[in-house]
Amino acid sequence: MARHLITSALPYINGIKHLGNLVGSQLPADLYARYLRARGHEVMFICATDEHGTPAELAAAKTGEAVADYCARMHAEQKTLADGFGLSFDHYGRSSSDRNRTLTQHFAGRLADQGYIREVSEKQVYSHADGRFLPDRYIEGTCPNCGYDKARGDQCENCTKQLDPTDLINPRSAISGSTDLEVRETKHLYLRQSALKGEIADWIDGKKDWPILTTSIARKWLTDGDGLRDRGITRDLDWGVPVKRGDAEWPGMEGKVFYVWFDAPIEYIAATAEWADAAGGDDAAWRRWWRLDEGADDVTYTQFMGKDNVPFHTLSFPATLIGSGEPWKMVDYIKSFNYLTYAGGQFSTSQGRGVFMDHALQILPADYWRWWLLSHAPESGDSEFTWENFQQSVNKDLADVLGNFVSRITKFCRAKFGEAVPESGDYGPEEQVLITNLTTRIRAYEANMEAMEVRKAASELRAIWVLGNEYLQSAAPWSVFKTDPDRAAMQVRMGLNLIRLYGVLSVPFIPFAAQSTLQAMNATDADWPGDVAQALQALPAGHAFSVPEVLFAKITDENSAEWEQRFSGVRA
């Protein structure tokens, strides 16, 4: 049994996330965590809400809530939606936690002790209309590198170039739109990333198995322009982790907080500590996942994220860990994703364009969405959601292939043999061929899951379902029953065992339907199939089962048209 630490990028607190956010990190991370657990490995799957920074303050101001109250409410809402989608986190934490505050201040102190923090008097943009300094991401303008006219002051989302606000052409406040901006002097702490460039570059170069998307973005940031630059890690804000050096005050930094991108990744560690606290454990319980000197040397650490988060996870967070001089567990593999677009354009929170997690669960069960998103995961390039494709995939894959197979076998058995596995002879040549083909497909499915090739794994799982349908069509027990009831009973026994097998294999992708199937088969304790032939003997003669409800109802043309119209414009 191996030990696996899995983290998915932290969703920001300001609102409900859309399907593109979901498939970019949390959902594939859950797929992998569920698979590893099913194979018997020890898994720690961590996520949290990212709660600091200006967007949280602005979102709270719009609702009239104190920012702490707003974040607490939105954390609860996001956790409820995560549960609704079956995201099996071991802990879903909060970056505003006491644990994260303590750890962030600890890391800042360690970095300072190691000589990797410097104080900088700098020019920062002040907005007269807003009456405040503007954080980098709340200054917009034209990117000097690619000409994108909505680049932020910290990074251009279009070309991913790292920016400073003063780099922008025609800057404006993203809060008020005002161009009445003034550059004022203020003092901040900078993380000396440039001093760690060699160590970070060597570390990245050693990751030969990382996706090209991950390494290409990381190397671009290392070499683009002047290369890896020092990065400001403090801001003039009220909401965030107060700037302290460990437990001590930091002279000259009074009233400032740490930059959200400094404290947010540290929450991966803090959330694991929150898990230990909730479980009644001591610090050793979480440190065995994160400290190489306390048991984490045998942990495999995998991160899941969208491509826009890659620079901070390949450069800035590693700089924090390396620069601390302490033996922290570094990530082993970063699975990054491209973007999911919506019907030829972008999802829009402000316009309500596209499907958001809350509305998705209102119109269809989670497994419909899980299956489509994972089987169309934006791995090698961007993927596009269209209602036509969604309808087609759900109807063909889930309803016609898997759902139809389960329904036909269980209903036929109930009608001819009752609700128990019938007595029968041994499997024949046709069944042995099926077992051979299934074994090949299942081993390929496992290989793709272990390699985190999400779309390929989905394709193999569908092919496994198809093998059962092809067998059923060829065997035709409803016809055989008329002349050879014993052989028909054997075929039905194979079919019922296939349903059990499909339930086990499908849990990572469609956990709710898979568990429902296993419950109907009276087999909720089913293990992952090592020997496929043995697994297809697991339900013996006389084993009781029940006919499940329809696993997947088809999406009608009327449904599709209605939803396409509903999610095309401004949300009510």
Give tens-digit pLDDT for 505-557: 999 999 999 999 999 999 999 999 999 999 999 999 999 999 998 999 999 99
The answer on pLDDT for 394 being more than 70 is: yes
Give dist(CA 423, CA 432) in Å, integer. 19
The answer on pLDDT for 559 being more than 50 is: yes
Encode 422-446: b = buried (16+ Cβ within 10 Å), e = exposed.
bebeebeeebeebbebbeebbebbb
Among 194, 181, 192, residue whose Cα is nearest residue 140: 181
pLDDT at 238: 86
Give dist(CA 555, CA 541) in Å, integer. 37
The answer on pLDDT for 570 being more than 70 is: no
Amino acid at 203: W
pLDDT at 94: 98
pLDDT at 155: 86
The answer on pLDDT for 571 being more than 70 is: no
Residues 403-418 have a mean pLDDT of: 97
Give residue 225's pLDDT band: very low, low, confident or very high (50, 70, 90): low
Give tens-digit pLDDT for 417-466: 999 999 999 999 999 999 999 999 999 999 999 999 999 999 999 999 99
pLDDT at 489: 98
Give residue 572's pLDDT band: very low, low, confident or very high (50, 70, 90): very low
Encode 141-154: b = buried (16+ Cβ within 10 Å), e = exposed.
bbbebeebeebbbb
Q: Tokens 């014993």 label which residue?
A: 486
Residues 37-60 have a mean pLDDT of: 95
Q: Count the helices and strands in the chain (H runs, E runs).
A: 22, 18
The answer on pLDDT for 376 being more than 60 is: yes
Give dist(CA 102, CA 533) in Å, integer. 53
**Which one has a higher pLDDT value, 407 or 247?**
407
Residues 321-328 have a mean pLDDT of: 98
Give residue 226's pLDDT band: very low, low, confident or very high (50, 70, 90): low
Instruction: Tell whether residue 349 is among the known ligand binding residues.
Output: yes
SS3 75: helix
Give residue 349's pLDDT band: very low, low, confident or very high (50, 70, 90): confident
**Which one has a higher pLDDT value, 30 or 160?**
30
SS3 103: helix
Length of the chain: 572
Where does 74-193 show beta strands of DSSP type E?
A: 91-94, 117-127, 132-133, 139-142, 151-152, 169-173, 181-191
387-535 fold: Isoleucyl-tRNA Synthetase; Domain 1 (1.10.730)
Instruction: Tell whether residue 440 is among the known ligand binding residues.
Output: no
Instruction: Tell whether residue 47 is among the known ligand binding residues.
Output: no
CB 513 within 8 A of CB 520: no
**Which one has a higher pLDDT value, 55 or 502?**
502
Give tens-digit pLDDT for 3-19: 999 999 999 999 999 99
Give dist(CA 465, CA 501) in Å, integer. 10
The answer on pLDDT for 293 being more than 90 is: yes
Give dist(CA 381, CA 397) in Å, integer. 23
pLDDT at 163: 87
Q: Where does residue 170 fall: left (phi above 0), alpha (psi -120 to 50 degrees), or beta otherwise?
A: left
Give tens-digit pLDDT for 115-165: 999 999 988 889 999 888 887 878 999 999 999 999 998 889 888 888 888
Give tens-digit pLDDT for 355-367: 999 999 999 999 9
Share of the chain above pLDDT 70, in %: 99
**Which one has a higher pLDDT value, 130 or 194?**
194
Mean pLDDT across the chain: 95
Give dist(CA 429, CA 185) in Å, integer. 82
